[in-house]
Amino acid sequence: MKSEPSAATRQRLTTLAKLHGTREVAQVLGHSTRTIERWIADATPVPALLAPALDSFYGVWPTEVPDTSGSYRFVDLFAGIGGIRLGLERAGAECVFTSEWDKFAVKTYMANHDSRHQVLGDINSVDAADVPDHDILAAGFPCQPFSLAGVSKKNSLGRDHGFLDKTQGTLFFNVAELIDKKRPKAFLLENVKNLISHDKGRTFAVIKEVLEKDLGYSIQYKVVDAKGFVPQHRERIYIIGFESSVEWDWSLIEPHKRIGEVGQILHSEYNPLEADLPYIDTDSGAVADRYVLSDKLWSYLQRYAEKHRLAGNGFGYGLVEPGNTTRTLSARYHKDGSEILVSRGPRDNPRRLTPRECARLMGFPDTFRIPVSDTQAYRQFGNSVVVPVIESLATQMVQHLDILTMKNGLAEAS
């Protein structure tokens, strides 16, 4: 059995490593980072003299990081149906403001989120003064080309806030302006992976310069594939920003519970759930015929795929079996469903995913209501985020905010 003093020293060492970084603590104590990591992981006993050494170098220090996650407030911009909101709320944060212009998306959003605030429309009409103070700004902003014409001339006139000139007329401008005026402790931005290469990299270069140089935030970014969380190959870039530098670790972005195969999100013919009922034939248990491709559409897709195969191209439909991972669900899925077709065997035409299956493929719970037409639902889920990816990102963000809050409290107390 471990002694209480040893456990307390290990907890204290863990806290110091979070606050200062394992490398710095190792240097101060005169040990390797590997040794520090083994003490923290309880792989080797903590030396009895470690506690006095910590006192000598760091003085009196708290033994644990306080849980302040419930106090973090966030705003949900370009909210869609609230996928980012779900992930942040699962990490313990509270939504205090929402902006979304599409009336059908708002209908779904309002059916699922207990908003004590009004969902405002076009972000171009939102005044920063009407946005409450918040700790985290979240936005899945659309990618638009930036016009750099005239920037040099305007800068030569000594104008403030360079991002106003660089990004005016784009939706990223609204995000940057709100960050500038409200100064959140952190932000979470999401976009398509091609944002990095858009316009030969110039678009992302502007975004990075604005966030880091003009607004003064420390940022981390990476393209994350959701196939580690759900059975869908879906790559999106995530940009994480903090007012202060943090030891962000992308290797910690991992699922709490992974859904590995597409069969896990499909309707069951033998044991249907309540969420399945609107999409199945209740007599047979099979998915309703309206989701099965017609002979005409299935023949067209096969001819189209064969044409491109002979031409050496990779275009065509994506047929999946229960053990597979799907292609990326897109907003155009309602047109023919060609990117993700569920096999019904060699003799039967394949079918589309139902809206409920699309919701599951994006990591939404079965309690999530779908109050719109199938066409709108396909568009909404195709435009949304994979919820468990956001939850994993948000969980680490909240942990870093806890640490920064603790640091600030200690600085004020000293």
pLDDT, tens digit (0-9, with 9 covering 90-100), for 24-55: 778 778 888 788 888 888 888 888 878 777 77
In-domain check, residue 368 = no
Same domain flag for 129 and 212: yes
In-domain check, residue 279 = yes
Residue 175: phi and psi, rounded to 5, are -65, -50
Element (H, E) at 158: none
Element (H, E) at 78: none
* CA distance linking residue 162 with residue 191, whole number of Å: 23
CA distances from 62 to 8, 10, 54, 414 (A): 10, 12, 12, 13
In-domain check, residue 208 = yes
In-domain check, residue 378 = no
Q: What is the mean pLDDT of residues 222-244?
A: 95
Q: Among the options 29, 143, 377, 387, which is catalytic?
A: 143
The residue to which tokens 């060609």 are assigned = 338
In-domain check, residue 235 = yes
User: What local confidence, expressed as pLDDT, does residue 266 receive?
Assistant: 95
Q: What is the mean pLDDT of residues 129-145?
A: 88
Same domain flag for 151 and 20: no
In-domain check, residue 380 = no
Same domain flag for 138 and 237: yes
Query: How many domains is the chain built from?
Result: 3
Active site residue 143: yes
Same domain flag for 100 and 178: yes
CA distances from 310 to 301, 302, 317, 326 (A): 14, 12, 15, 24
Same domain flag for 209 and 166: yes
Is the pLDDT score of 367 beyond 50?
Answer: yes
Same domain flag for 76 and 109: yes
Q: Of 37, 58, 79, at which residue does a domain stop? A: 58
Q: Any residues with CB less than 8 A from the CB of 224 and at least 6 apart, and which?
A: 235, 236, 237, 238, 250, 253, 389
In-domain check, residue 282 = yes
Name the token pair of 206. 């502007």
CATH code of the domain covering residue 114: 3.40.50.150
Q: Any residues with CB less than 8 A from the CB of 283 and at least 6 apart, and which?
A: none
Same domain flag for 176 and 78: yes
Question: What is the separation of C-alpha 181 from the centre of its chain, rounded to a whole number of angstroms?
Answer: 24
Greatest mean pLDDT range, 56-65, 66-75, 293-302: 293-302
Quickly state the pLDDT bin for 413 (edges 50, 70, 90): low
In-domain check, residue 371 = no
Q: What is the mean pLDDT of residues 196-200?
A: 86
Same domain flag for 230 and 127: yes
Specify the range with the lowest mean pLDDT, choosing from 280-284, 288-292, 357-361: 280-284
* CA distance linking residue 390 with residue 396, whole number of Å: 10
Of the candidates 120, 121, 115, 118, which has an alpha carbon nearest to the alpha carbon of residue 86? 115
Domain that holds residue 345: 262-362
Q: Which residue has the higher pLDDT, 360 or 53?
A: 360
- Helices marked H in 246-310 — which ranges? 295-310
Same domain flag for 128 and 194: yes
CATH code of the domain covering residue 344: 3.90.120
Same domain flag for 73 and 212: yes
Is the pLDDT score of 158 beyond 50?
Answer: no
Rounded to the nearest integer, the mean pLDDT of the chain is: 85
Same domain flag for 122 and 189: yes
Of the candidates 358, 355, 352, 349, which has an alpha carbon nearest to the alpha carbon of residue 335? 352
Same domain flag for 213 and 358: no
* CA distance linking residue 88 with residue 379, whole number of Å: 22
Of the candidates 301, 285, 280, 273, which has an alpha carbon nearest to the alpha carbon of residue 354? 280
